[in-house]
Amino acid sequence: VSFQLPMIMYTISMSGIVDSKFWRKNIRYAILGMVVFGAIVTPDGSGITMWFVAIPMMVLYLGGMLVIEHKKRKKI
């Protein structure tokens, strides 16, 4: 389900619920949430596998944010 993050972000932004600046402004909270999610989902206590979950989610978030900002610039 996490691989759909950019599509969910795009849909929320294009429907007008939030603007493109929302994603950049709240990136700290998003990264914290992804790290916490990775820690909860992975059974290993070392912390290494947590990053195997969190880093791809961060990349997807950043990719979604860039696509939304690019689309916003093209619209203007």
> What pLDDT is recorded for position 73?
84
> What pLDDT is recorded for position 51?
94
For residue range 20-71, what is the model confidence (pLDDT) as tens digits? 899 999 999 999 999 999 999 998 888 899 999 999 999 999 999 999 999 8
| pLDDT exceeds cutoff 80 at 8 | yes
> What pLDDT is recorded for position 46?
84
The pTM of this model reads 0.87
Q: Helix, strand, or coil here: 1?
A: coil
* Type of residue numbered 62: L
| DSSP states along 2-71 | GGGHHHHHHHHHHTTSS-HHHHHHTHHHHHHHHHHHHHHH---SSSHHHHHHHHHHHHHHHHHHHHHHHH
> What pLDDT is recorded for position 76?
60
